[in-house]
Amino acid sequence: MQIYEKDYHKIIYADVLEGLNTIPNQSIALIFADPPYNIGKNFNGRIDRWESEEAYLTWCYQWIEQCLAKLKPNGTFYLMAATQNMPYLDIYLRKKMTILSRIVWSYDSSGVQAKNYFGSLYEPILHCVKDKNNYIFNAQDVMVEAKTGAIRKLIDYRKPIPTAYNTKKIPGNVWQFPRVRYRMLEYEEHPTQKPTTLLERIILASSNPGDWVLDPFAGTFTTSFVAKQHGRKSISIEIDESYLKIGLRRLEICSEYQGKTLYKPIKTYQQRANLTLFEETHGTSLYENNLEYS
Ligand SMILES: C[S@@+](CC[C@H](N)C(=O)[O-])C[C@H]1O[C@@H](n2cnc3c(N)ncnc32)[C@H](O)[C@@H]1O
């Protein structure tokens, strides 16, 4: 296990259970957990597949139990999981916490669509609190435009003096955010990167500036990156070294790792743009192997 830290942003490079052990109990305001889903994704060579559903769930229950111990009495826990596993985790969690919302993160399609059944275009998220009478929910910080479909403002004529309806509302439990695509600025090389917009809503609603936010499966460190932007402190756990390097760079904890500069790999279309620029300015062609990027 290795710990990296700067300005209240801590990365624990370790297995989740080992990493969680180092965190004091009842110290965290908000946990966002986006574990491997047991659906066979390839996380840099580590295949996300357990020998059985039972084995996967037993592992989940272990780290969930530890996460709950780390939460403050007014703490909040958001959990993502595959649609097929969420019912088990929901039943498990509702005995220990209050589930305030069952959120659906719905997104546009990309890649090949299912042809013989209705393809999955959403991921479930549980929003749970330890104490239903004492938890953080900053409604004012996450208001959205109330879309009625009407062009003019709708008027409530049932009021003694007819008044326009509010134009802002607290989002419902169906959230529409695009997935992270290759051409987006925030894109990192990771198969399941979550968008900053999704984490922004969660962090703004369920923590206050100065609070500790924990992500036990950091991946591209979206959670801690957004936490930092909004004045929260963060702890992230990640087991894979190449993803650790993304975190060290994204959180600006260091600029070098093991003697090598940390940099964001240039994208293929940016390479092509550089090539064109070079050709335009030099009136000649640049061979691919002269490029310093890889
Ligand atoms: C679904 S991804 C998280 C993606 C992340 N939310 C993001 O926005 O990029 C799960 C991450 O957990 C990491 N992981 C898998 N098993 C782990 C373990 N036992 N301990 C710690 N991290 C683990 C994987 O390397 C992967 O990066």
Q: Which residue has the higher pLDDT, 291 or 37?
A: 37
Question: Quick one: 218 and 283 in the same domain?
Answer: no
In the prediction, which pLDDT does 270 show? 76
pLDDT score recorded for residue 149: 65
Q: How many whole angstroms separate alpha carbon 182 and alpha carbon 180?
A: 7
Q: List residues near ligand 1 (CB under 6 A).
A: 15-16, 34-36, 43, 190, 192-194, 217, 219-220, 222, 237-240, 243
Closest residue by Cα to atom 15, ligand 1, is 36
**Residue to mutate, 239, 242, 244, ligand 1, most ligand atoms under 8 Å from C-beta:** 239
Q: Which amino acid is located at 115 in the chain? A: K
pLDDT class of 31 with cuts at 50, 70, 90:
very high
Q: What is the mean pLDDT of the chain?
A: 91
**pLDDT more than 70, % of the chain:** 89
User: Is residue 194 located within the same domain as residue 268?
Assistant: no
Band (291; pLDDT cuts 50, 70, 90) = very low
Dig out the tokens for 198 from the structure.
Answer: 């999704």
Mutate to test the pocket of ligand 1, among 11, 238, 245, 249 (most ligand atoms within 8 A of CB): 238
- Alpha helices (H) in 184-231, listed in sequence order: 196-206, 222-229
Whether residues 223 and 84 fall in one domain: yes
The answer to whether residue 109 sits within a structural domain is yes
User: Can you tell me which residue has the tokens 């293929």?
Assistant: 268
8 Å CB contact between 7 and 190:
no
Domain total for the chain?
2
Quote the pLDDT of residue 30: 99
Task: Tell me the CA–centroid distance for residue 73 and ligand 1, in Å.
Answer: 26
What separation in Å is there between the alpha carbon of 190 and the centre of ligand 1? 10
Distance 114 CA to ligand 1 centre (A): 26
Confidence of residue 289 (pLDDT cuts 50, 70, 90): very low
Residue 72 corresponds to which tokens in the numbers above?
Answer: 């403050």
Cβ-based neighbour number of residue 220 at 10 Å: 22
Nearest CA to ligand 1 atom 19: 15
* Angle, CA 55 vertex, CA 50 and CA 61 arms, to 5°: 115
Average pLDDT over residues 55-75: 98
- Residue 243 forms part of a structural domain: yes
Q: Which atom of ligand 1 is nearest to the CA of 44?
A: 25
In 3D space, the residue among 67, 77, 36, 32 whose CA is nearest the CA of residue 215 turns out to be 32
Q: What is the tens place of the pLDDT at every residue in 152-162?
A: 677 888 888 88
Q: Tell whether 73 is covered by a domain.
A: yes
Q: Is residue 143 part of a domain?
A: no
Task: Indicate whether 164 belongs to any domain.
Answer: no
Query: Cα(202) to centroid of ligand 1, in Å?
Result: 18
Structure tokens at 208: 């206050």
For residue range 73-116, list pLDDT tens digits in order.
999 999 999 999 999 999 999 999 999 999 999 998 766 788 99
Q: How far apart are CA 234 and CA 11, in angstroms?
A: 8
Q: Are residues 197 and 93 in the same domain?
A: yes
Please report the atom of ligand 1 found closest to the CA of residue 218: 5
**Å from CA of 166 to ligand 1 middle:** 40
Is residue 156 in some structural domain? no
For residue 152, is it within any domain? no
Same domain for 274 and 132, yes or no, is no
Using DSSP bridges, classify how beta strands 256-257 and 260-261 pair: parallel, antiparallel or unpaired. antiparallel
Neighbours of 246 (CB within 10 A): 23
Domain of residue 87, CATH code: 3.40.50.150
Q: Residue 121: which pLDDT band, with cuts at 50, 70 and 90?
A: very high
pTM summary value: 0.90
